[in-house]
Amino acid sequence: MSESIESRELIELVSREGVLRGTCHMPSSKGPMPSIARDRLGVLFLNGLPATRAGHGDAAVYWAESLARLGYPAFRVDLPGYGDSCGDPPPEALSSINRGGYKSIVLALVRELVERFKLSGVVFVGHCAGAVTAIYTAASTRECRGLVLIDPYFYLPQQSDRSLRKRLIVWTMQSRFGRAASTLYRFLKMTRLRLNGLESFKNANLPLLARWKEAASSGMPILILKAAPRRNTDTPSQIHEFADIGYALELAGRKSHVAAKVIVGAHHSFANELARTAVQQNIEGWLEASFQQGMNAPAPALKKTGPACTTNPEVLLP
């Protein structure tokens, strides 16, 4: 038995909540770039639910290994209640995460990683609910040097009857009238969004949007990766697809360095091979562009490459 193998080391971090377990992928001295060239910038992965630190389809393992090969120490840690870390998930886990429930834990975790591995800073890579935690935390620590948000969302799930919701989805998929009703519903939502902004929606996550604005307007390099819609991709209503992201991009302000990309063929889990590869290439390119001159150099401005206007996934649901 061994706690480390060629490229990985198992780590334990003691938090107030108990022991957190994780895996560290250290840059190989045989890699294309020595770690010193990266100024010891670490990458911390924060998974969505209910994935363990390996991510859906072990995608996070794949990304961490590829970044370590490039010279970035990469860390995957199970947050309390998940994977091999202590405890149970908090009651109403998603609601807790959407209110920033893991922020203090991740702040402590970052401090510990920076100190133990002598890092100059950390880039968060958060997927889905992990992206929400990443945004909440990024605004509160100077150790965070950048954000990669994979399929983030800026709304709160609507409390609705699950079975009714399921029946509605099936209806809109199978019935012509249902599809028309769904399109009309999205159109009305989108019109309201354009007129009044996201705050007009009762399910907008306003505290999260505030943290987002804080982080983005500081000039921190941010990369948003969003899975392209797979259904009805040829209909005009798809321009509504990611309204909350579009709104967040506007909210970020002129000083922000936010790049947004839509990945066609990706599933929300980003576990499929196409998505995994696209995420890897995008993160690698973005890291190179943002941090190539060392941690103290300003990151170059990146163009917003995503759709001009997108829609709230919650709105999208029929």
Partner 1 sequence: MQAQIQSEAIPREKADYFRVPGAHLYTVSHRVPDPLARVLLIGPFASERHFSYHPWVRWARYLATRRIEVLRYDYRGVGESTGVFEEMSFKTWSEDVELLVDSLSSRLPLVLHGLELGAILAARAFSLGAGDALLLWSPPQDANQALRAILRRWAGLEQLFESVENRKSASEYIRLLEQGTSIEVQGYRWTSHLWRESFHFDLPPTDEAAAQQHRRPVKLVRFGRNQASGITPYLHRDEIKDIDWLYSSSFDWVSQVLAPSAGEVNERVN
Task: Using CB under 8 A, list all residues that contact partner 1.
Answer: 1-5, 8, 10, 12, 19, 21, 23, 49-54, 56-59, 61, 81-84, 88-89, 91, 93-94, 169, 173, 230-233, 267-269, 271-273, 276
CB of 218 to partner 1, least distance (A): 32
Determine which helix (DSSP H) or strand (DSSP E) holds 200, and give its type and residue range. none
Judged by DSSP in three states, 260 sits in strand
CB of 111 to partner 1, least distance (A): 22
CB of 126 to partner 1, least distance (A): 17
CB 79 within 8 Å of CB 105: yes
CB 49 within 8 Å of CB 129: yes
CB of 37 to partner 1, least distance (A): 26
Cα distance between residue 93 and residue 88, in whole Å? 10
Shorter beta-carbon distance to partner 1: residue 110 or 128: 128
Smallest CA-to-CA distance from 132 within 159, 111, 151 is with 151
CB of 298 to partner 1, least distance (A): 37
Judged by DSSP in three states, 15 sits in strand
Shorter beta-carbon distance to partner 1: residue 1 or 36: 1
CB 110 within 8 Å of CB 44: yes
Phi-psi bin for 207: left (phi > 0), alpha (psi -120 to 50), beta?
A: alpha
CB of 214 to partner 1, least distance (A): 28
Cα distance between residue 97 and residue 127, in whole Å? 12
Shorter beta-carbon distance to partner 1: residue 10 or 188: 10
Shorter beta-carbon distance to partner 1: residue 89 or 219: 89
Shorter beta-carbon distance to partner 1: residue 24 or 259: 24
Judged by DSSP in three states, 39 sits in coil
Shorter beta-carbon distance to partner 1: residue 15 or 218: 15
Judged by DSSP in three states, 139 sits in coil
